[in-house]
Structure 1
Amino acid sequence: MDQSRTERFIILLVTFTCVGLTVESIMLGWEFWVPPLIIIGTIGLWIMNISGTPGYSVRKGYYLIYAMLSALFHGVHETSFFDVSIVFILVMVTYSFLNHIYMMNLFFIEYFCVMATQFFLAQRSQSFVSDPLNISRVVLHVAIVVLTYFTCIKAINDRLTGAEATSELEGRIEAVDADMEDFLSNISHELRTPVNVVNGMSELLIKRNAGEEAFSIKDAGIRLAYQIEDIQDYTECKRNKVMLEEEDYMSTSLINDVVTAFRLINNENKLEMVVNMDPGVPTMMKGDLNKLHKIFRHLLDNAVKFTKQGGIYVRLYTEPKDYGVNLCIEVTDTGIGMDRKAIESLKNGMYQANKKRDRSSGGIGLGMLIIHGFAHEMGGFVKVESEKKSGTTVRVTIPQKVADATPCLSLSPDFSGDILFHVRSDKYKVPRVRDFYRGMAASLASGIRVRLYSAETIKEIEHLRGSIDVRYIFMGQEEYEANFEYFDELSQGDIVIAVSANPGLKTSPGSKVILMPKPLYAYPVVKILNEGTDAKDIEYSDNIVKPAFRGVRALVVDDEPMNLVVASGLFRDYEMIIDTAESGREAISRFRENDYDVVFMDHMMPEMDGVEAMKQIKHVATELNRSARVVALTANAVSSAREMFIREGFDGFIAKPINIAEFERVMQRVLPGRAVSRGGEEA
């Protein structure tokens, strides 16, 4: 029984006892002013319990004093001679649940004081007859009280011993968990350096056209890098040490990253993916974009792993709130589903549908725990709905601030015409996939306020063309291939034909049919509606043209030679001039001799760590009247690392393994605009 339940249980018993005492006092004509005090005292017990004030130890002292005074009031009346023992037995048993031996001692002493008072009163009034029956009754009552006292003492000692043993066991378990978490954290940190080498060297080999083997090595390295991140994220979630890094981000960029991630997944089962993004979602929000990416990645990984046929439906929408919006991420699959017990286990720790060594689902079973941990840390929650063999829906709701409330998708003012969706309902083996597409189309039409019509056959298309102003026809690859000549001919006129297709589909020469790479989502659809056949770059991109840092002089500092090779090779691809140093002291010496635009500094190095080296380089820069931009390039990638390095004085932070997109973002933020160029022109 926990503390609050024990406290309430004791107060309940005391209340019933005091009600009986009040009734007895009134019936026997005892002191008239005491029952009101008993009632006030009982009410006070409940007020303190409900309010939680004062502190628990003070409340227990009040409960003790109240019980002792009530027992004393009952025991000092002559009519209570044979009831005293019963009252004290009840009081001792009740208060033994508070696990304080001193309370039992006080009640035991009070009992004998009250009995002595009873004998004194009995002798004075000559009301006690000293016959064998009465004497035996008194002896029996006293014996029972003494037995009760020692029984309560033993029960309290046993409970305290048990609680101490349990606490010790829990402490040992927590220590083992902490050691395991330390081990996992250290392992993930140590593995980042070799994985950085594997990923970097494979990237360099790919650029030198080393063959398909290099792509396989890179894919394996990326997979291992994700698993290392998962271990790190898991330990941070378990320790409640997740740190948030909020920044403004484009909502369309977030959903585009989801689409890109799905294309990189090994989709052996040829699953359909449908993305339903509400056009009314704010254009720009503020939150931890990196953790949102990870939540999406785990949701997609799980959906793909446990779905053998059918598809995946991703829905993104927002709910307005005083603080901004609730960002709602919903992923539904047509997979194997889960029972109620499995759903509960998701909240409590690692869960895998198949834990056998020959399991086909893959992964290390940390995904849902990380999703729950991140969502909770960001002030949100996770809801899972699933049935065996009926698929699963995971809904993550996270509060976000709004940086730009403008709807992320909208039509141009001069848009006109009607839209057809040409999809055959009989082509899907799993009917729910058809519902996914219908849901996406209906949500999009409602969000941008357009008229949308469905047509399953060419005959229906021709009928609608005769009755409405058809300007756009969207369809799947199968529908286009079944009647490509018809649609190629239509595209030559004033009707825009757009096809959601797999990579490799080619249109006929001269055809104006627009190909939209799968999976289908709202951004390319709206872009085509706004620009028609002139639509270019229908895939959303934050940065279409790769930046160049032409002529930027950089110093890379790392005690691991292979890391220097990798970083130098990757950075030279951006037309940078690279020097290297294998220690902090060498880096300081090189900085004195050369004027570098940026220094990339490892953290953990012998003799002098990266933080001290950075501070000395900045001191040297001040002496020489130069600027020093130092970026941490380290395997220390815990959530709080970025904040710690920035606080120490670093100008930027890049985690190993090196993520090229993150490198570009940091460089554009750290370097002055004149040092960054795009497409051969100065930015």
Structure 2
Amino acid sequence: MRTETQTSMHLLMVSTISILAILLSAITVFRSWELWMIPLMLIGCLVVWWLHIGRIGTETQYENICTGLLITELFFFGVHKSSLYDIPLLACTALLLLSLLNRKQLLYLAAFLYVLLILYHFIALGTINSRMEEEDMLRLLLGAAAVAGSLAVTRYRFNRRNEERAKYEGMQEELATAVRQNAEFLSNVSHELRTPVNMVIGISEVALGKELPPEIREDIHSVKMAGKRLSGLINNILDYTENVEGTLSAVQEPYMITSVVNDVITMTALKNTDNKLELVFDVDPQIPIILIGDAEKITHILRILLENSLKFTEEGGVCLRIGFRRESYGINLLVDIFDTGIGMTSSQLGQITDDFYQADSGTQRYVGGLGLGIPIARGLLHAMGGFVHFESKAQQGLQVHIAIPQGVGEDTPSIVVPNAGKMCIACYFRPDKYSCDEVREYYDNMILHLVEGLGVEGYQAHNFEGLLKLQREHKLTHIFITQMEYMGNAPYYEELAQSVHVAVIADKDFALDEDSSLMVLRKPFFALSIVNLLSGQERDNKFEDAQAAGRRPFTCPGVRALAVDDEEMNLVVAKGVLGSYGMQVDICSNGKAAVKLCTQTAYDIIFLDHMMPGFDGVETLRLIREIDDGVYKRLPIVALTANTLSGAREMFRNEGFSEFVPKPIERVVLERVLRRVLPENRIQYGTDSDTPGQQQDTGTKDQTKKKEISSDTSAKEEMPQADDRTQETVSSYGSLVRVGINVGLGLDYCSGEEDFYREMLQMFYDQEAEKRAEIISLYERADWKDYAIKVHALKSTSLTIGAEELSGQAKELERAGKEEDTVYIHENHASMLEIYGQVCEAIGKYLS
């Protein structure tokens, strides 16, 4: 209830009042005053102590009771004749005590009571009269001077304290303002840097699409990777500013922890390209299959912390352990990360969560950064009600312990093996090949937790003789060996594979002979990969595909979809993207037409623009839900929106939408939503590389990663060579790039199809005159509501072609239109139209 300072002050008050009560009780007995006051004072002291110890009541109530008891003691002492010359002593004590409180009126109350007591002695008791001796009069005047001086001193102290408090509060406000301004500055800088960085990435992608000498291709690929790294730093700054501004909010939606781990594994594998470190993912198979929480934030946290461990670990390995503990509200998701890196000192640990803090590592593996990763992870955890704890000693690695409260959607185990009781597995790892004892412990613990969690019979061998012994004593069904063991005795394991399932845990560049009977598990791997093998889901040396954990290409044949958007360009994109999944797609441009179509056609899914003139997305949603007494009540209706602030999903869920997809549509996000909202029997998986809509979900939001081209020979052989027409088209992208259009981003939103991208550019160009006239007309009429809707549409369509600067300008004008910030609109309307014209002029040159 009270701060530490207040508690100390209140303790001083109650102690002083109690001492005064005891002394006053003794004086009362000695001078035969009213004895009935003694129990009243003592009871009052006991009440005050009870309130203080129990911290009962508010601060003001407690202080009022203490003040009342003190004033009562002063009054009782002062009304007696014999106390006339001692009243100033008690009055000064009361003034000093009351000066501790931040209430000046109490000082005046004590001084006024002293004056009343003097008047009472003069008028009622007659102890002050003309017959007083000079010595008594001097004592009386001296006491009055002491009280007046005490009042002046306490008032001075009170005023100075208030001035210091005001100064301190002002400094606090200035500091908070500086932090906010710093965050806003970083956010503005980040947005400004996006355009040139995306230009670097876009130009690199365009160049990589040409025929280039190997050494030039490698240099350009390095430039592109540097651009992507800088883009990642910019994203970190934006996450940090959102954390500082307090706009982070966690959603509560069902997800599978296995999907989260798959995303993290993919990211970690990309960071550990040289395979120097052993990466171990130890997941408890008994974790409930469906959890309720914010999967994206958990993935982001794990990515940050694992990247931190990889950055500061030169040899050995990193282990991610995920378990759980049951609670009344569901579970606590327990995440532990261990590494064999350089560790941290106690002083460094104390600063690890400070903004921009970076320890002086002195290691050659340290590759820079802004020092924002840990504060961002901590902010994300706090938004979800979780916490993080760090442990470390210098040169002994870092340990991170996380607990995140999660709900449980379905309580069955997340990883199970059919017929587990009939299986008997053996793992053969030679411990002497690991340079760190900790890595051997990571693997041993993972195997132990896996065997216990799955309920299978399992054994471990640390030498070849131990493996032979296990074969003699047990009827093994599966044997797991490492790449080193296989290469040391390949003929034996090939022969063994004729009677037992043998899997090799190997690096990504390892390959078996075509006629081999073994299977391959690619590093890094975790429980789900092993379970897929045990369940017989992977054969013919294609087991590495199991790491996709079900993220295979798929189509949705027979699904009837409706796309609703007031922008024709967005409808073309939606129809093209959705159609690539085998859907039959209808389109319409407003909410009224959408409701009419729904009364005529039975749809399986609807994609609905959130902001439209007339009926907006929410109104259209409600009307569709009410058709024929709720025939579409459970129909998946997905919001299409360019507003993707933190908490957007929760907002749309509250409005009644099943899910939301940001515009422009990204395939990874779309596929995740389709898997979530469509029945399983409406999704048809396939393995053919030409399957429409094929896009492997790597668990990363950066879609340009799907187009990364390695500089090695194998990557060049896999890259489709452009024909003469394509080469001519690619070489002419320069006019677009020069005005800030991110061609790579635009191609991504158009599924990588250049003809489709050209069609979008043509449509954007053709609509310019009409859209410009509409925006100008609304601006001149000061119709800010519809103005916001029109620039909102421009925001999404311009981003579809990669015009990020124009999209950003339109976004800010949309915000200003919603808030009727006319000053901002008048200052920026013309510049937005100027950029609009420059973009369309560049598109015209490209198209010609």
Question: TM-score of the superposition, structure 2-length normalised?
Answer: 0.67
The answer to whether the Cα contact below 8 Å between 1:500 and 1:517 also exists between their aligned partners in 2 is yes
Cα distance in structure 2, aligned partners of 1:672 and 1:324: 26
Give matches, 1:403-552, under 5 Å.
Answer: 403-413=409-419, 415-416=421-422, 418-492=424-498, 494-531=499-536, 534=539, 537-539=545-547, 541-547=549-555
**Structure 1 residues 103-112 or 29-38, which shifts more?**
103-112
The answer to whether the Cα contact below 8 Å between 2:609 and 2:639 also exists between their aligned partners in 1 is yes
Shift of 1:260: 1.6
Give the one of 156, 162, 176 matched to 1:154: 156
Shift of 1:37: 0.9
The answer to whether the Cα contact below 8 Å between 2:538 and 2:546 also exists between their aligned partners in 1 is no
**Secondary structure, counterpart of 2:515 in structure 1:** coil
Percent identical among aligned pairs is 31
In the other structure, the counterpart of 1:346 is: 352
In the other structure, the counterpart of 2:108 is: 105
Instruction: Tell me: CA distance 1:533–1:459, structure 2 relative to 1, closer, same or farther (3 Å).
Output: farther
Does 1:90 find its partner at 2:93? yes
Shift of 1:437: 0.9
Q: Deviations over 1:50-87 (max 9, x none)?
A: 56665433443333222111111122234434432222
Does 1:660 find its partner at 2:662? no
Instruction: Tell me: CA distance 1:567–1:220, structure 2 relative to 1, closer, same or farther (3 Å).
Output: farther
Q: Deviations over 1:146-187 (max 9, x none)?
A: 222111100000011111122222222222323333444566
Instruction: Tell me: CA distance 1:481–1:325, structure 2 relative to 1, closer, same or farther (3 Å).
Output: same
**Secondary structure, counterpart of 2:100 in structure 1:** helix
Shift of 1:280: 1.5
In the other structure, the counterpart of 1:261 is: 267
The answer to whether the Cα contact below 8 Å between 1:225 and 1:657 also exists between their aligned partners in 2 is no
Cα distance in structure 2, aligned partners of 1:665 and 1:190: 31
Q: Which amino acid aligns with 1:406?
A: T
The answer to whether the Cα contact below 8 Å between 1:312 and 1:331 also exists between their aligned partners in 2 is yes
Cα distance in structure 2, aligned partners of 1:663 and 1:205: 29
Q: Which amino acid aligns with 1:153?
A: R
Q: Deviations over 1:393-443 (max 9, x none)?
A: 111111112222222223332644543322222222222111111111122
Q: Which amino acid aligns with 1:35?
A: I
Cα distance in structure 1, aligned partners of 2:616 and 2:197: 25
In the other structure, the counterpart of 1:379 is: 385
Instruction: Tell me: CA distance 1:496–1:611, structure 2 relative to 1, closer, same or farther (3 Å).
Output: farther
Q: Which amino acid aligns with 2:80?
A: H
The answer to whether the Cα contact below 8 Å between 2:200 and 2:227 also exists between their aligned partners in 1 is yes
**Secondary structure, counterpart of 2:505 in structure 1:** strand
**Secondary structure, counterpart of 2:352 in structure 1:** helix
In the other structure, the counterpart of 1:368 is: 374
Give matches, 1:46-445, under 5 Å.
Answer: 46-49=49-52, 54-117=57-120, 130=133, 132=135, 134-185=136-187, 223=229, 226-268=232-274, 270-354=276-360, 360-413=366-419, 415-416=421-422, 418-445=424-451
Cα distance in structure 1, aligned partners of 2:327 and 2:260: 21
**Secondary structure, counterpart of 1:475 in structure 2:** strand
Instruction: Tell me: CA distance 1:207–1:592, structure 2 relative to 1, closer, same or farther (3 Å).
Output: farther
The answer to whether the Cα contact below 8 Å between 1:351 and 1:366 also exists between their aligned partners in 2 is yes
Cα distance in structure 1, aligned partners of 2:365 and 2:145: 67
In the other structure, the counterpart of 1:18 is: 21
**Secondary structure, counterpart of 2:536 in structure 1:** helix
Cα distance in structure 1, aligned partners of 2:218 and 2:576: 20
**Structure 1 residues 253-262 or 2-11, which shifts more?**
2-11
The answer to whether the Cα contact below 8 Å between 1:196 and 1:658 also exists between their aligned partners in 2 is no
Q: Which amino acid aligns with 1:62?
A: I
Q: CA RMSD in A?
A: 4.7
Instruction: Tell me: CA distance 1:240–1:309, structure 2 relative to 1, closer, same or farther (3 Å).
Output: same
Task: Count matched residues.
Answer: 670
Give the one of 37, 42, 57 matched to 1:39: 42
Cα distance in structure 1, aligned partners of 2:619 and 2:95: 71
In the other structure, the counterpart of 2:785 is: none
The answer to whether the Cα contact below 8 Å between 2:561 and 2:607 also exists between their aligned partners in 1 is no
| Unaligned stretches of 5+ residues in structure 2 | 694-848
Q: Which amino acid aligns with 1:507?
A: L
Shift of 1:202: 7.9
Q: Which amino acid aligns with 1:453?
A: Y
Q: Deviations over 1:1-60 (max 9, x none)?
A: 733443343223222322332233234332111011112222332344456665433443
Shift of 1:475: 2.3
The answer to whether the Cα contact below 8 Å between 2:291 and 2:410 also exists between their aligned partners in 1 is yes
Q: Deviations over 1:332-377 (max 9, x none)?
A: 1111222233323334544322499x99343332222222222222
Cα distance in structure 2, aligned partners of 1:274 and 1:229: 27
Instruction: Tell me: CA distance 1:556–1:373, structure 2 relative to 1, closer, same or farther (3 Å).
Output: same
The answer to whether the Cα contact below 8 Å between 2:358 and 2:371 also exists between their aligned partners in 1 is yes
Instruction: Tell me: CA distance 1:634–1:191, structure 2 relative to 1, closer, same or farther (3 Å).
Output: farther
Instruction: Tell me: CA distance 1:278–1:46, structure 2 relative to 1, closer, same or farther (3 Å).
Output: same
Instruction: Tell me: CA distance 1:427–1:558, structure 2 relative to 1, closer, same or farther (3 Å).
Output: farther
Q: Which amino acid aligns with 2:339?
A: D
Shift of 1:270: 1.7
Question: TM-score of the superposition, structure 1-length normalised?
Answer: 0.82
Cα distance in structure 1, aligned partners of 2:636 and 2:425: 53
The answer to whether the Cα contact below 8 Å between 2:343 and 2:393 also exists between their aligned partners in 1 is yes
Cα distance in structure 1, aligned partners of 2:199 and 2:606: 19
Cα distance in structure 2, aligned partners of 1:437 and 1:668: 33
